[in-house]
Structure 1
Amino acid sequence: MYTAAAALYPDALASSVTLPMEILQAASQMASVGERGRAQARFLLTAPDTTPLRLASGIQLSPDIAFDQLPPLDLLILPAIWRNPLPTLKGASRWLAQLAAIAGQGTRICSVGTASCLLAEAGLLDGRPATTHWNYFDRFARRYPRVQLKTRHLITQSDNIYCVGSVNSIADLMVHIVEGWFGTRVARAVEQQFSPEIRRSFRAAAYQDSTRSSHHDETVIQAQQYLQDNLASGGRLEDLARQLDISPRTLSRRFRIATGYSTQQYLNSLRLATARDLLRRSNLSIAEICWQLGLQDVSYFARLFRQHHGVSPMRYREAARGKLFDPVAGAGRGRRP
């Protein structure tokens, strides 16, 4: 079972707590279908103590557990801060040191909006890329000159440290996390339910620090970048190996060790992510999307898309454009409230 938590403080925006909570709860329920109904994730609220906390919006939340009692976490969310973050930073001084300890355990920590200031205060963003709410770009840059502020990206990632610039972007990140935990079908179903608007995928929206990749094979990093830049022509292992001056057999072995995928599987995942964006954002025909992805066979593309997402490309486009929810196979259909 995966364990996620959200930190609470008086000026936290409730929506940046409840949206990730609901997305993860929905994913857990969908994933539990194949696990005899057993919950696959839990979401905790945490604060310095368990005294009920009334947020600036007037909503009262009750922490499940104190910071110093937290179990090992897979994800910790630092909710967006309403208006000036400085009062929150001052109030957080007694528990900021725990963030470094939690990060050191390998926990993914994600800040929303100006909660990136909490990560910066804890020293977790020194020398790393980060983003924050657009209205605080200048103040953030002045206060934290050692942070590599990325003003053109809504999401940044460096190792296990994530920053998203707004409450809306946390949905994109949560879908990305759900996909890693529960697979593509669950992620796409959650995406249709919670964020079917025309949006960008995590891969398209995020700035990822390749120097702090989850693996450190520079040749494989170059291969990943080449595939990203050459979706329409980068499919042959032999051609990729020639670009990197390495034998196809060695590249294949190292790529799988580093990423867990073959080069073709990785390329397909890039193509499918791009296809989803084009189906949402453009009026290109299915055949034209295939051409942009370097695929000549429309029926093969349709089979590949259905295999990974459970619906045809056209049905996916209709659902995204019409804000419909297509649950995983076997469940009924419903319209988003």
Structure 2
Amino acid sequence: MPEAKWRVALLIFNGAWASTVYGSLELFHSANLRQPQDQQFHCDLLSADHKPVQLYGGHSIHGDSIIGEQAYDLIMLAHYWGDFEEVTQQYPNIPAWIAKQHAQGARIAGINSGIFWAAESGILNGGRATAYWRHLREFEQRYPDVQWQANQASVEHQGIYSSNGQNASMDLSLHLLEKFCGASIAAGLARDITFDSRRIYDLNLINIAGFRQHRDLGIHKAQDWLDEYFTESLELQHLAKQIGMSKRTFIRRFQKATGELPSRYLQRLRVEAAKHRLANTEDSIKTIGMDVGYRDISSFSKVFKSLTDVTPREFRRRLRPAAAGVRNISKSD
């Protein structure tokens, strides 16, 4: 068996939800099965000590290993629903261990309310995250130095990932697979687990999360609107007026906060949504372009290539070779 490229720790503790542990574990295992001669992941169920862990559903399990000096590339923090004060007192060594791992370069992914471990460690101070909606108010009070994003399904901040629900957690796991293994494996696994291609694509909110790393509340409000209505026609004058700015001030502040012009940010949103449709549906390229906000296929293809270096047709061909000949795909991309 070849040595795996990446080491993944799935942290378990009393009260952890088994579904959020094993769902990620099986997804990484599926990635390994796709390339048996080129193993991607070595996964450990990791506990804080040698005691058995009582999962939320009542089952008792032991970890493969306990937290220590072993360095990991990715640490997954299971969802939790219980007394946060009690569980942090049970495991006083977990927060410092997470902080050390993050300092060494590990990516940290909190599945839904599991993100509280990252907040408890201090690595989220001054940063952004989301969590399961039932716990957001408690987290806002418990961790006031974190900007909690109630309306975002998934958030990334400096290598720390978070999600706010069951669907979002699966999107998050697939996004991490894409980060480590590339888009082809991630898209293939998404199809294998029968993702509902009709569901609104949440990953665009992760893939452009770097443009949210600022504290301009007015621009965050504008981004919230764009994230929801990116398929609609945009008039900067109207959007600027909605948030109480002149068009000139809005453009200046948007570019200062995000590093991008509003029009380019909008293009990124549309292209991310189109990438999902190209990978997971048989819709024609023309239909996809119009559905994400473009009036003609020429404009769509030009913008798509400027952001991805390939045309929509080539993007689909790389991820889905068998779809290249589907009869309803437009030939004029």
TM-score normalized by structure 1?
Answer: 0.69
The reply to whether residue 200 of structure 1 matches residue 211 of structure 2 is: no
The reply to whether residue 49 of structure 1 matches residue 49 of structure 2 is: yes
Q: Which string of whole-angstrom CA distances, capped at 9 and with x for unpartnered residues, describes residues 29-71 of structure 1?
A: 2133xxxx242211101112233323231223221111014x2
Q: Distance in 1 between matches of 2:20 and 2:170?
A: 9
The reply to whether residue 8 of structure 1 matches residue 12 of structure 2 is: yes
Counterparts in 2 of 1:116 and 1:20: CA distance versus 1, 3 Å: same
Kindly report which structure 2 residues correspond to 1:136-147, keeping only aligned pairs within 5 A, or say none. 136-147=135-146
Give the equivalent residue in structure 2 for 1:312.
Answer: 323
The reply to whether residue 175 of structure 1 matches residue 174 of structure 2 is: yes
What's the offset of the Cα at 1:13?
Answer: 0.3
Judge conservation of contact 1:156–1:206 (CA < 8 Å) in 2: no
Kindly report which structure 2 residues correspond to 1:1-337, keeping only aligned pairs within 5 A, or say none. 1-32=5-36, 37-69=37-69, 71-194=70-193, 196-197=195-196, 198-204=199-205, 208-210=209-211, 222=259, 227-230=264-267, 271=271, 273-277=273-277, 286-291=285-290, 292-293=293-294, 295-296=297-298, 301-312=312-323
TM-score normalized by structure 2?
Answer: 0.70
Q: Distance in 1 between matches of 2:113 and 2:175?
A: 21
Judge conservation of contact 2:162–2:172 (CA < 8 Å) in 1: no
The secondary structure found in structure 2 opposite 1:124 is coil
Q: Distance in 2 between matches of 1:58 and 1:155?
A: 28
Where does structure 2 lack aligned partners over 5 or more consecutive residues?
Answer: 215-254, 302-310, 329-333
The secondary structure found in structure 2 opposite 1:24 is helix
Where does structure 1 lack aligned partners over 5 or more consecutive residues?
Answer: 232-266, 318-337
Q: Which string of whole-angstrom CA distances, capped at 9 and with x for unpartnered residues, describes residues 164-214 of structure 1?
A: 11233221111112112222221111111235122414223677244769x
Query: Aligned residues: percent identity?
Result: 21
Q: Which has the higher contact order (CA 8 A, sep 6+)?
A: 1
Judge conservation of contact 1:184–1:309 (CA < 8 Å) in 2: no
Deviates more, 1:17-26 or 1:134-143: 134-143
The secondary structure found in structure 1 opposite 2:58 is coil
Give the equivalent residue in structure 1 for 2:227.
Answer: none
